Structure 1
Amino acid sequence: MTVDKPAKKPLWQRLGWLLLIWAGSVLALGVVSYGLRLFMNAAGLSTP
């Protein structure tokens, strides 16, 4: 019994997924940090 390996995706497609995942994680980090900043400012914790 032989199992065929799936075909390897083209380099541009693999790099595209990598870029998409990286951009999504950077965006998510930005949203979380902005939310924390808003929360801290609302609580009166701000820098002069």
Structure 2
Amino acid sequence: MAGKDYLNDVQECEKKPLWQRIGWLLVIWTASVASLAVFAMLVRLFMSAAGMKTH
């Protein structure tokens, strides 16, 4: 039964300390913001290589 497995997973996650859960949230958020920044820099690089101005 998938419902029981999911409930057990949720209960296991809730046993972890709050600081650890918030820490993972911050790590994931930081990684997503960093990857977006890298993507934006690559787009700007390709745009300037194509002769477009960024100002």
Bin for the TM-score computed over the shorter chain: 0.7 to 0.9
- Residue 47 of structure 1 deviates from its aligned partner by 3.5
The runs of 5 or more residues in structure 2 that have no matched partner are none
In 1, the alpha carbon distance for the partners of 2:34 and 2:26 equals 12
1:15 to partner: Cα distance: 0.3
Gaps of 5+ in 1: none
Determine the structure 2 residue equivalent to 1:24: 31
Bigger fraction of residues in helix? 2
Q: State the aligned residue count.
A: 46
Note the C-alpha offset of 1:8. Answer: 1.3
The runs of 4+ residues in structure 1 deviating greater than 4 Å are none
Backbone CA RMSD of aligned residues: 2.0
TM-score of the two chains, using structure 2 as the length reference: 0.73
Pair 1:47-2:54 in alignment: yes
TM score, norm. by length of structure 1? 0.82
